[in-house]
Amino acid sequence: MRVLVLSDIHGNLQALEAVLASAGAVDFLWNLGDVVGYGANPNEVVNLMRALAQVNVRGNHDRVCCGLTTSQGFNPVAAQAAAWTQRALTGENLQWLRDMPQGPVIGDARAMCAHGSPLHEDTYIVTMRDAWTPLQQMESEVTFFGHTHVQGGFSQRDHEWHENRPHYATTDQAEMRVFDVPAGTRHLINPGSVGQPRDRDWRAAYAIYDTEGAKVEFHRVPYDVRAAQAAIRAAGLPDRLAARLADGR
C-alpha cells in the first residue's frame, strides 16, 4: 500500500497540484492539517482534500480559519491571513474544517496521524529533545506529524535514537530520499510542508509511506512559485507571505 502523506498545504494550490502530479497513483491520502491559512486558494485546496483524503487531522490554522478558536497568539501576518481565509471560504468548506478531527487519528494498524505532537496538537517537535517524550508515550509505533514545516523525522529503539533529515543534491529539480521504517523501532515522521516549506528549500515537500516495504520516501518537487505569489498579491494578502515562498522559510 502506498500512502501519500501531506501536511501544511496552507491554501497553496500551485504547490498541491505539483505534488499530486508528482506522486501519481497512490492507494490512500493522509492529510495532517493546516490545509488553509497563508495561501490564496483555500477553497480549491479544501475541495481537493474533501475529494481525495481518507484521513484528515485539523491544524491550528484550520481551527482559527473556521472560527473554532481566535487568532490570539498568531503573529499579525498570520492573523490577517486567517481573517481573509475565513471570509473567502464557502459555508460548506467552513463546516468541513470545523468537523475535522483533532489528532492523533488512526492511519493504519501501525501508524497514527497528528498535526503537532501526538501528545498535543499545538506542540512543535523540532529537535530530538522535543521528540523524546512523544516517542516513548505515543500509542502507535509510527506517528506522522507536521506543524513545523520541516521535512524529516526521529527514530528510537531502546537507547538508540536518530534524527533523519533528507539531504538533497539540487535545489530546483524533483528529488527523493528513502528511509527505512523498521518494525520494533518507534518513528516520528514529518513529510514537510506542501505549501510553505521553512527548511530553506522552496520546493513543495511530501512523503510516501510504503507500508509493505516499511519505507518512507521523502520527496521535493518544484512548483510554479511565481503563480502562487501572484495569487497571494492579487488577493491583497500580506506581501511577506508571497516573498517567503521563494526562500523556503
Pick 162 or 198: Cβ nearer Zn ion:
198
Cα gap 40→156, rounded to integer Å: 39
Pick 8 or 121: Cβ nearer Zn ion:
8
How many chain residues are in contact with Zn ion, going by CB under 5 A?
Answer: 2
Interface region with Zn ion, contact rule CB under 5 A, candidates 3-11, 160-168, 175-183, 221-229: 3-11
The residue from 8, 175, 201, 217 that contacts Zn ion (CB under 5 A) is 8
Q: Which residue has 475565513 as its cell numbers?
A: 86
Cβ 5 to Zn ion shortest distance, Å: 15
Pick 8 or 201: Cβ nearer Zn ion:
8
Retrieve residue 151's grid coordinates: 521535512
Interface region with Zn ion, contact rule CB under 5 A, candidates 7-15, 19-27, 68-76, 96-104: 7-15
Cβ 10 to Zn ion shortest distance, Å: 6
Q: Which residue has 543534491 as its cell numbers?
A: 169
Cβ 1 to Zn ion shortest distance, Å: 26
C-alpha distance from residue 184 to each of 130, 141, 156 (Å)? 21, 8, 9
Return the residue nearest Zn ion (CB atom).
34
Cβ 223 to Zn ion shortest distance, Å: 17
Cβ 74 to Zn ion shortest distance, Å: 11
Pick 59 or 156: Cβ nearer Zn ion:
59
What part of residues 27-86 is at the interface with Zn ion (CB under 5 A)?
34
Pick 10 or 219: Cβ nearer Zn ion:
10
Backbone angles phi, psi at 84, to 5 degrees: -60, -45
Q: How do beta strands 186-190 and 55-56 pair?
A: unpaired
Cα gap 209→93, rounded to integer Å: 28
Q: How far apart are the first and last CA of the chain?
A: 33
Contact 16, 225 (CB under 8 A): no
Pick 35 or 181: Cβ nearer Zn ion:
35
Cβ 202 to Zn ion shortest distance, Å: 16
Pick 8 or 217: Cβ nearer Zn ion:
8
Cα gap 104→57, rounded to integer Å: 7
Cα gap 7→10, rounded to integer Å: 9
Cβ 59 to Zn ion shortest distance, Å: 6
What part of residues 19-38 is at the interface with Zn ion (CB under 5 A)?
34
For residue 163, the Cα-to-chain-centroid distance in whole angstroms is: 18
CB atoms within 10 A of CB 248: 20
Residue 199 within binding range of Zn ion, rule CB under 5 A? no
> Whose CA is closest to 100, among 149, 140, 65?
65
Q: Contact residues for Zn ion (CB under 5 A)?
A: 8, 34
